[in-house]
Amino acid sequence: MNAFAKRNINPLKLAAAVAIASAAILAAAPAGAGECPADQVMAGATKPGATMPAGVTDEVLASIDLSSKGAEWKGHLLRMRKLVVQPGGVVPWHEHSMRPANILIASGAITEYRSSCKVPIEHVAGDVAVEFGDLAHWWKNNDAAPAVLYSADILPPEMTDDHTM
């Protein structure tokens, strides 16, 4: 006889209770690290910032031509990049309506100025920023150490420069 049976506990009911409790805790939790606080979200909250890169290197580590996946993917690239943003460095204002991306902050810290957030968003090592849809933003390293970011994005054929930030 297992421990659940000895205590007359239905494992399915226990699993359901744990799932409900977890969902309640997550729903009540404040914004996580590297996210805009819920009470600061607003469309058009931040106007365009820096328009030129400064103190940032952008290295394409690998790319895959997705054309073989069908006509709708013709000319699209899935790419992985490494960006190193020096102290005071800037990734300029850009938008993501055509280019979804996930950004992993591998080391250091960096501040994001997002069009949909009234306050700057601090990202630290281990954070992942999701960039998709009606989003425009710019980043600045306000820290004393370089920030190392890894970006995985889908570059559409309209954005022909393989080094588009």
- 44: in domain: no
Q: Are 11 and 77 contained in the same domain?
A: no
Query: Do 10 and 77 share a domain, yes or no?
Result: no
**Cα atoms found within 13 Å of the Cα of residue 95, Cβ hemisphere only:** 12
Per-residue pLDDT of the chain (165 residues; tens, 9 = 90+): 544 455 555 555 544 444 444 443 333 333 446 889 999 999 999 889 889 999 999 999 999 999 999 999 999 999 999 999 999 999 999 988 889 999 999 999 999 999 999 999 999 999 999 999 899 999 999 999 999 999 999 998 888 665 556
Would you say residue 84 lies in a domain? yes
| Confidence (pTM) | 0.76
pLDDT attached to residue 30: 38
Distance of CA 159 to CAs 66, 71, 72, 133, Å?
A: 14, 17, 15, 16
Q: How many domains does the chain have?
A: 2
Nearby residues of 133 by Cβ (< 8 Å), 6 or more positions away: 96, 97, 100
Structure confidence at residue 148 (pLDDT): 98
* Residue 41 belongs to some domain of the structure: no
Task: Tell me the residue ranges of DSSP E strands in 71-146.
Answer: 77-95, 101-107, 109-114, 121-124, 128-131, 136-140
What is the number of residues in the chain?
A: 165
Q: Is residue 38 part of a domain?
A: no
Range(s) of the domain holding residue 19:
3-30
- Are 94 and 60 members of one domain? yes
Q: What is the pLDDT of residue 2?
A: 46
pLDDT at 34: 80
pLDDT value for 140: 97
Q: Are residues 132 and 59 in the same domain?
A: yes
**Structural domain contains residue 45:** no
Are 114 and 46 a contacting pair, CB within 8 Å? Answer: yes
**Is residue 146 one of the residues assigned to a domain?**
yes
Domain of 92, CATH number, reads 2.60.120.10
Classify residue 13: in a domain, yes or no: yes
* Residue 21 domain flag: yes
